[in-house]
């Protein structure tokens, strides 16, 4: 027998050995697991194949796939929820399994705040083997909770065998481990936490955290490993950012008795754009200064804000309606006048309450809220077009205002019918005149939208009372109505004027619809409405009146047109072509400021008349127009005509909920200078100057 | 005009009756559509008798002979349940109502939880999912209506007080 094996046999043995090693080599995975009773959720636990010998660690990935609408929870799940857990007690040679939790999001289910995840997510797990173990069995039950409007707790059996001798790295999973860990917050120096106060009186935690590079739109989540605090609920924090300092107020509650939190250790997870950090916190007992203004102060502001709404440019579309209701009421007895004006006031206040209820419903369903957002809805605008058109036709005498027939017969003689009319006019005037913010109003609305439902209703009532104040005054002192012009034949001539003002409002609202419908549809709508209006005038007042009004309109158009053309050189120069504006994003602001630019932010909407007044009256006028055109100025515009989540977020971050909103940033003012609602040349120029200077 | 004064009242009555019929048909249809097909047709024999955390015994088959019985599956870890539990608690004043708490901890915890939330319905502790598995219920909140030992309605998800009342009335009178 030959002592040396032939070469071919050697290579065969080598190949076989290599093959068997390859076939034994493995990277354990459970594959996708799903429960037959609950298909919307599937999970998969797999090892990456790496082994960190020093600490006996096996990095693993737990993938979770949730169908649309389903959510699962973070380690502190908020009110109600329950985090996923892995009971690995049936395992052998396993020392510990440590979960790493990616930064979660906040969700509102049926008005209840929860913290968790949706879609597909990956939890990195660190599995620690017993010292000196070469083999291990990972066995147990993974329990996942998942909720939509129903909640399900599902168990998944896990069984993985690990053999370090055959364990091989799976390059895809090893790669996937890194982005998964990237979503897990890193522990940061707790020296950045300047204050961590527990106020027993307020049942509130206040945290002050600094970050060198400042905060953008930080989110904060609280967790406690303390068993006694397992069922404590940390509310969605109220966060305020001032430069590099973040101050968060978190209400703490417990369905049973809340233990004393002084000395308690918490973990605060803070996420921001491209930033996720964990801070260890030890609470110290203390008092929290109440920065928020008292409720009576806010109510006073709401009253003032409502009153000022009456003289904002936004009231322009309903000016006719308002003046009409004033002028045409001089005819009646003080008693009747009182009731009429009371009806108008009630209409105004009801409108505010309806808006408040709408916003509450929207907030409750998890939608984003804001002041004037009803104008972002084409159906709302369409309804207003119809209503204002009917009002205009009514003023033209096309028909008398009729209410549900059961009321009208008895009411007509008593004059009650007209009270209903006044009520409706009050409502309409409010709905039309409230898309823009006003001084004081912004603060009051911002406070209201962050408060509980009863406070929202209270503040909106105050806004309504504020706006109705002039009407209420006359209602209380009906004799003042005598100061109004006496009725007479002139009223017949004034009525068409009001009708035309109302029609102008219809036209304005119709142009707003243009943002939502196709050009063809818009054309059909405009022509259709115009023809219909003319036909109705013709029917009611006869052909003569029809031709008169068409003729009158043509003459008026000719006169106005000629005047405009003749005087063109006087005003054309004053309204130059607007500059090019870039769409508003927080990133653009940051980049421009970082490169030394001055940034002018203009958040506007087509339906916001005050915004148009600011534009025509200030932004397009010199010296502001030239100043904005300079090379060192970056112009960013946020168009809120249609709902836009980014812009809503930006407004919210600036503690406001409506337009117009203008802010100037620059090296001299990295946090920005907020401009007043009604712009003036001086305050824009001053802000631009201040923001530029370092 | 004097004639028309009596006529509308008849027409009105007919219209109202028709309206009710349509309304109930719609409700019945919706209830059927929502009906959880997994739930058994009648009360499982071995699960007819339930014991709540205070040791009180309930026999679903016996109880449901007199009036519809509401069986409510919920959990302390279910964020949606607090939106439904008060409704069930209120219904409990008008119809026999029993709740089953899925995997929600020991009796002591459940007692304190119910006290803190002000729930007065009896609670059967189903910490090991024995009852809920028998009923094939895996999702909370689920409300089952039992009549004469038969399951006449099973809905999962959010329910409003009028919704639940209409369902109960419907099954009691039709």
Nearest CA in chain B to A37: B138
More confident residue, A665 or A402: A665
Task: For residue range A525-538, list pLDDT tens digits in order.
Answer: 888 888 888 888 77
Task: Write the DSSP symbol of residue A118.
Answer: E
C-alpha to C-alpha distance for B168 and B150, rounded to whole angstroms: 14
Please calculate the CA angle B149-B153-B154 and round it to the nearest 5 degrees. 110
Neighbours of A612 (CB within 10 A): 18
CB contact under 8 A, B157 and A151: no
Residues B29 and B42 in one domain: no
CB contact under 8 A, B156 and A111: no
Residues B22 and B80 in one domain: no
Nearest CA distance, B66 vs chain A (angstrom): 31
Residues B61 and B124 in one domain: yes
CB contact under 8 A, A109 and B82: no
B11 Cβ contact list (under 8 Å, min separation 6): none
Complete DSSP assignment for A601-661: EEEE-TT-HHHHHHIIIIITSTTHHHHHHSTTEEEEEEE-SS--HHHHHHHHHTT--SB-E
Bridge partners (DSSP) of residue A603 are A638, A661
Residues B30 and B51 in one domain: no
Nearest CA distance, A151 vs chain B (angstrom): 5
pLDDT of residue A414 exceeding 50, the answer is no
Which helix H or strand E contains A311, and what residues bound it?
A: none
Q: Could you say which of A79, A80, A256 has the minimum Cβ distance to residue B112?
A: A256
Residue B39 sits at the chain A interface (C-beta within 8 Å): no
Complete DSSP assignment for A526-576: HHHHHHHHHHHHHHHHHHHHHHHHHHHHHHHHHHHHHHHHHTHHHHTTTSP
Nearest CA distance, B1 vs chain A (angstrom): 14
Residues B111 and B30 in one domain: no
Nearest CA in chain A to B155: A150
In the stretch 139-168 of chain B, residues with CB closer than 8 A to chain A read: 139-142, 156-158
- Say what the pLDDT of residue B5 is: 44
Bridge partners (DSSP) of residue B57 are B51
A:B CB pairs within 8 Å: 70
- Say what the pLDDT of residue A452 is: 78
- E strand map for A119-217: 120-129, 135-147, 151-163, 186-187, 193-199, 204-210
Chain B residues touching residue A149 (CB < 8 angstroms): 80, 157-158
Nearest CA distance, A400 vs chain B (angstrom): 24
Choose the mutation target among B38, B72, B73, B79 for the interface with A, i.e. most A CBs under 10 Å: B79
Nearest CA in chain A to B83: A110
pLDDT of residue A411 exceeding 50, the answer is no
Residues B91 and B152 in one domain: yes
Chain A residues touching residue B158 (CB < 8 angstroms): 110, 149
Chain A residues touching residue B139 (CB < 8 angstroms): 38, 150-152
SS (H, E, C) A506-521: HHHHHHHHCCCCCHHH
Nearest CA in chain B to A107: B79
Complete DSSP assignment for A360-397: HHHHHTT----TTGGGG-HHHHHHHHHHHHHHHHHHTT
Q: Could you say which of B82, B138, B156 has the minimum Cβ distance to residue A112?
A: B82
Q: Which domain holds residue B1?
A: 1-34
pLDDT of residue A122 exceeding 90, the answer is yes
Nearest CA distance, A233 vs chain B (angstrom): 12
**What are the backbone dihedrals phi and psi of residue A333, each rounded to the nearest 5 degrees, phi first?**
-65, 155
Return the structure tokens found at A598.
Answer: 């001055």
Picking from B91, B76, B101, the residue whose alpha carbon sits closest to that of residue B159 is B91
Report CA dihedral (A162, A164, A169, A170) to the nearest 10 degrees: -20
First to last CA, chain A: 94
Calculate mean pLDDT across residues A233-246: 85
Q: Is the dihedral of CA A459, A461, A465, A467 positive or negative?
A: positive
Residues B73 and B126 in one domain: yes
How far from A666 is each of A152, A245, B86, CA to CA, in Å?
51, 19, 54
pLDDT of residue B52 exceeding 70, the answer is yes
Q: Could you say which of A37, A77, A81 has the minimum Cβ distance to residue B138?
A: A37
pLDDT of residue A415 exceeding 50, the answer is no
C-alpha to C-alpha distance for A498 and A179, rounded to whole angstroms: 65
Chain B residues touching residue A114 (CB < 8 angstroms): 79
CB contact under 8 A, A153 and B113: no
Chain B residues touching residue A256 (CB < 8 angstroms): 112-113, 116
Domains (range + CATH), chain A: 28-183 (2.60.40.1250), 187-285 (2.60.40), 295-516 (no CATH), 582-692 (3.40.30.10)
Residues B111 and B149 in one domain: yes
Of A212-226, B2-16, B119-133, the range with the lowest mean pLDDT is: B2-16
**CATH label of the domain that carries residue B122:** 3.40.30.10
- Say what the pLDDT of residue A160 is: 92
CB contact under 8 A, A79 and B79: yes
pLDDT of residue A92 exceeding 60, the answer is yes
Nearest CA distance, B116 vs chain A (angstrom): 6
Q: Is A318 left (phi over 0), alpha (psi -120 to 50) or beta?
A: alpha
- Say what the pLDDT of residue A110 is: 62
Chain B residues touching residue A82 (CB < 8 angstroms): 77
Residues B56 and B133 in one domain: yes
Residue B117 sits at the chain A interface (C-beta within 8 Å): yes
CB contact under 8 A, A255 and B113: yes
Chain A residues touching residue B113 (CB < 8 angstroms): 255-256
pLDDT of residue A404 exceeding 70, the answer is no
- Please, which pLDDT band fits residue B40 given cuts at 50, 70 and 90? confident
In the stretch 41-80 of chain B, residues with CB closer than 8 A to chain A read: 75-80
Nearest CA in chain B to A149: B157
CB contact under 8 A, A80 and B77: yes
A254, burial (CB in 10 Å: exposed 0-12, middle 13-18, buried 19+):
middle
Return the structure tokens found at A460.
Answer: 């909106």
Residue B81 sits at the chain A interface (C-beta within 8 Å): yes
Q: Could you say which of A112, A152, A255 has the minimum Cβ distance to residue B79?
A: A112
pLDDT of residue A223 exceeding 70, the answer is yes
Nearest CA distance, B79 vs chain A (angstrom): 4
pLDDT of residue A232 exceeding 90, the answer is no
Which helix H or strand E contains A621, and what residues bound it?
A: none
Q: Could you say which of B38, B78, B112 has the minimum Cβ distance to residue A80?
A: B78
Residues B163 and B84 in one domain: yes
Chain B residues touching residue A147 (CB < 8 angstroms): 78-80
Contact residues of A toward B, CB < 8 A: 37-38, 77-82, 109-112, 114, 145, 147, 149-154, 255-256
Chain B residues touching residue A153 (CB < 8 angstroms): 75, 77, 102-103, 138
Return the structure tokens found at A638.
Answer: 């946020």
pLDDT of residue A117 exceeding 90, the answer is yes
- Say what the pLDDT of residue B26 is: 67
- Say what the pLDDT of residue A406 is: 42
Helices then strands (H, E): number in chain A?
18, 26
Of A121-130, A174-183, A561-570, the range with the lowest mean pLDDT is: A561-570
CB contact under 8 A, A79 and B116: no
Nearest CA in chain B to A84: B77
Of A12-16, A398-402, B50-54, the range with the lowest mean pLDDT is: A398-402
Global confidence as pTM: 0.58
Nearest CA distance, A442 vs chain B (angstrom): 32
Report CA dihedral (A591, A592, A595, A596) to the nearest 10 degrees: -140
Residues B16 and B61 in one domain: no
Nearest CA in chain B to A113: B79
How high is the mean pLDDT of chain A? 82
Residues B27 and B102 in one domain: no
Task: For residue range A189-210, list pLDDT tens digits in order.
Answer: 888 898 899 988 888 899 999 9
Choose the mutation target among A113, A153, A232 for the interface with B, i.e. most B CBs under 10 Å: A153
Bridge partners (DSSP) of residue A26 are A167
CB contact under 8 A, B80 and A256: no
Calculate mean pLDDT across residues B119-125: 93
Residue B109 sits at the chain A interface (C-beta within 8 Å): no
Nearest CA distance, B122 vs chain A (angstrom): 19
Return the structure tokens found at B16.
Answer: 């109202």
pLDDT of residue A1 exceeding 50, the answer is no
Domains: count for chain B: 2
Chain A residues touching residue B142 (CB < 8 angstroms): 150
């Amino acid at each position: 027998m030959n002592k040396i094996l032939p070469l071919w046999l050697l290579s065969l043995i080598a190949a076989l050995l290599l093959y068997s090693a390859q076939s034994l080599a493995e990277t354990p995975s459970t594959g996708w697991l799903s429960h037959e009773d609950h298909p919307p959720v599937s999970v998969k636990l797999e090892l990456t194949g790496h082994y960190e010998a020093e600490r006996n660690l096996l990095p693993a990935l737990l993938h979770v796939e949730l169908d649309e609408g389903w959510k699962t929870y973070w380690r502190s799940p908020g009110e109600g929820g329950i985090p996923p857990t892995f009971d690995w007690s049936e395992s052998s040679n396993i020392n510990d399994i440590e979960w790493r939790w990616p930064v979660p999001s906040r969700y509102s289910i049926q008005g209840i705040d929860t913290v968790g995840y949706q879609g597909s997510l990956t939890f990195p797990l660190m599995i620690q083997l017993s010292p000196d173990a070469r083999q291990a069995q990972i066995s147990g039950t993974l329990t996942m909770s998942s909720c939509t409007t129903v909640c399900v707790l599902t168990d998944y059996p896990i069984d993985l065998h690990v053999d370090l001798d055959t364990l091989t790295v799976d390059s895809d999973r090893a790669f996937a481990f890194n982005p998964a860990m990237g979503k897990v917050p890193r522990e940061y120096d707790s020296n950045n936490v300047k204050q961590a106060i527990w106020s027993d009186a307020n049942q509130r935690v206040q945290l002050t955290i600094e970050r060198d590079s400042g905060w953008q739109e930080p989110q904060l989540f609280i967790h406690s490993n303390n068993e006694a605090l397992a069922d404590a609920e940390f509310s969605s924090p109220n966060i305020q950012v001032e430069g590099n300092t973040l101050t968060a107020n978190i209400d703490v509650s417990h369905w049973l008795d809340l233990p004393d939190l002084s000395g308690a250790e918490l973990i605060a997870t803070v996420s921001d754009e491209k930033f996720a950090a964990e801070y260890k916190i030890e609470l110290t007992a203390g008092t929290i200064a109440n920065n928020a203004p008292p409720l009576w102060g806010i109510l006073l502001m709401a009253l003032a804000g409502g009153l000022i709404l009456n003289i904002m440019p936004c009231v322009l579309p309903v000016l006719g309606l308002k003046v009409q209701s004033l002028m045409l009421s001089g005819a009646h007895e003080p008693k009747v006048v009182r009731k009429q004006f009371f009806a108008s006031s009630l209409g105004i206040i009801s409108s505010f309450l309806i808006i408040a209820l709408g916003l509450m419903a929207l907030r409750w369903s998890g939608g984003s809220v804001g002041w004037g957002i009803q104008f972002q809805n084409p159906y709302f605008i369409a309804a207003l077009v119809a209503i204002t058109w009917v009002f205009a036709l009514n003023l033209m005498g096309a028909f008398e205002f009729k209410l549900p027939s059961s009321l009208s017969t008895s009411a007509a003689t008593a004059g009650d019918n007209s009270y209903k009319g006044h009520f409706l006019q009050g409502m309409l005037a409010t709905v039309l005149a409230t898309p823009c913010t006003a001084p004081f109003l912004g603060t009051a609305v911002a406070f209201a939208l962050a408060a509980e439902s009863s406070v929202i209703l209270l503040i909106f009532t105050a806004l309504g009372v504020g706006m109705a104040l002039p009407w209420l005054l006359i209602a209380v002192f009906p004799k003042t109505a005598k100061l109004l012009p006496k009725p007479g034949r002139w009223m017949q001539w004034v009525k068409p004027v009001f009708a035309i003002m109302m029609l102008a409002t219809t036209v304005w609202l119709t142009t707003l619809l243009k943002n939502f419908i196709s050009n063809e549809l818009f054309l059909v709508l405009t022509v259709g409405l115009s023809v219909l209006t003319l036909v109705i005038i013709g029917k009611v007042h006869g052909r003569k009146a029809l031709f008169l009004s068409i003729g009158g309109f043509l003459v008026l158009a000719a006169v106005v047109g000629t005047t405009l053309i003749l005087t063109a050189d006087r005003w054309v120069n004053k309204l130059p072509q607007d500059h090019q504006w870039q769409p508003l994003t927080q990133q653009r602001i940051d980049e421009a400021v970082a490169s030394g630019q001055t940034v002018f932010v203009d958040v506007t909407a087509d339906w916001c008349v005050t915004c148009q007044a600011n534009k025509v009256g200030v932004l397009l006028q010199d010296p502001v127009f030239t100043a904005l055109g300079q090379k060192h100025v970056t112009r960013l515009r946020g168009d809120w005509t249609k709902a836009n989540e980014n812009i809503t977020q930006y407004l919210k971050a600036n503690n406001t909920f409506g337009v117009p909103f203008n802010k100037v940033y620059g090296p001299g003012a990295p946090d920005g200078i907020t401009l007043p609602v009604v712009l003036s040349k001086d305050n824009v120029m001053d802000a631009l100057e201040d923001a530029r200077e370092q | 005009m004097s004639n028309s004064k009596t006529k509308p009242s008849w027409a009105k009555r007919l219209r109202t009756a028709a309206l009710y019929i349509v309304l109930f048909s719609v409700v019945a249809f919706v209830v059927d559509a929502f009906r959880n097909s997994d739930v058994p047709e009648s009360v499982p024999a071995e699960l007819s008798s339930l014991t709540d955390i205070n040791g009180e015994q309930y026999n679903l088959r016996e109880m449901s002979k007199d009036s519809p019985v509401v069986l409510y599956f919920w959990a302390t870890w279910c964020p949606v349940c607090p939106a439904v539990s008060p409704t069930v608690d209120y219904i409990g004043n008008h119809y026999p109502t029993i709740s089953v708490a899925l995997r929600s901890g020991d009796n002591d915890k459940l007692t304190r939880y119910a006290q803190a939330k002000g729930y007065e319905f009896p609670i059967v502790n189903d910490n090991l999912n024995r009852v809920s598995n028998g009923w094939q219920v895996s999702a909370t909140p689920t409300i089952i209506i039992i009549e004469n030992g038969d399951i006449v309605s099973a809905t999962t998800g959010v329910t409003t007080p009028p919704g639940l009342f209409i369902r109960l009335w419907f099954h009691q009178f039709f």
